[in-house]
Amino acid sequence: MYKLFSRIVILTAIVSLFACQLNKENFNEEDYIKSVQEWQTKRLEGLKAENGWLNLVGLYWLKEGQNPFGSNEANNIIFPEKAPGFIGTIILYKGNLSVSINEDVDVVINDSISKEHNIYTDAEDNTTMFKMGTFRWYIIKRGDRYGIRLRDLESPLINQITEVPSFPINSEWRIEARFEKFDTPKEIAIPNVLGDTEFEKCFGLLKFEIDGQEYSLMPLGDGSKNDFFVLFADETSAEETYGAGRFLSVEKPNKNGETIIDFNKATNPPCAFTEFATCPLPPRENILPVKIFAGEKINEHVGHH
């Protein structure tokens, strides 16, 4: 399964109480609006959580060999000022990673204080996690690059962002769709902000209409065991909404191939909140020639990275 799901910790997939009501007779507008508001509250809580995106304070790319790190400027990797001057050294050698922590510094590696430890990246199931005071970090792998993703649980951004800017909730943007499966899965190119491109399988098209015009999106995921994940852009991108597109979770279709695309739950990617994220970008097939006035927007605090 596409590693994007684990890398960016999809917060859009919070289950709605009314995720896939295809029977319009049972649809209640007031209940629907309330459910989306509850979803928005959980979305903000997720952004502020320990594994959310608002506490990122650094992304440091490693070089081959020794990478001493800490707040002192003599280090290759310079942490924020409140960190100890010299914490330790991360060694990168032909794709293998290890760390040596200085004797006068205590760092919790996984669940215990350690001085020497092998490191597993976020591309592996047993990712090595580091804790020191309010700092949390781990190693990410992007293409052939390795970097430290640093969090601070006291990051000012956590309190600075009190809401995620969004269009007014409008049930007209909760659109019926049908999934048309390909005879053979197709590969689509997924670029990212670092300039890398990965090729991922797409199992079919999500087709839907807006004002009588048909559109389609190419989702990730096969729509059987898990919901679809969609990266898309539209004609509001770089104006009312984030220029690098938005994310959307779409519930897996029923046995007739029917589902709902709820654009009210279109979310900003992590890069809209922090410069230290490494976001995927929408494939060219998912750039919609229409304005989607629904979901999350940008404002003075969000969308300028």
CATH topology of domain 56-154: Tumour Suppressor Smad4 (2.60.200)
- Burial class of 12 by CB neighbour count within 10 A (0 to 12, 13 to 18, 19+): buried
Nearest to 228 by CA among 244, 241, 247, 245: 247
- C-alpha–C-alpha distance, residues 127 and 116, integer Å: 16
Q: What is the pTM of this model?
A: 0.87
Q: Which residues of 16-49 are buried (b: 16+ CB within 10 A; e: fewer)?
A: bebbbbeeeeeeeeeebbebbeebbeebbebbbe
Nearest to 28 by CA among 176, 171, 173: 171
Helix (H/G/I), strand (E/B), else coil: 254:
coil
Chain region(s) in the chain for CATH 2.60.200.20? 56-154
97, 119 in Cβ contact below 8 A?
yes
- C-alpha–C-alpha distance, residues 114 and 147, integer Å: 20
Per-residue pLDDT of the chain (305 residues; tens, 9 = 90+): 334 444 444 444 443 333 444 555 578 999 999 999 999 999 999 999 999 999 999 999 999 999 999 999 999 999 999 999 999 999 999 999 999 999 999 999 999 999 999 999 999 999 999 999 999 999 999 989 999 999 999 999 999 999 999 999 999 999 999 999 999 999 999 999 989 899 999 999 999 999 999 999 999 998 888 899 999 999 999 999 999 999 999 999 999 999 999 999 999 999 999 999 999 999 999 999 999 999 999 987 686 65
Beta pairing class for 108-109 and 112-113: antiparallel
- C-alpha–C-alpha distance, residues 252 and 261, integer Å: 10
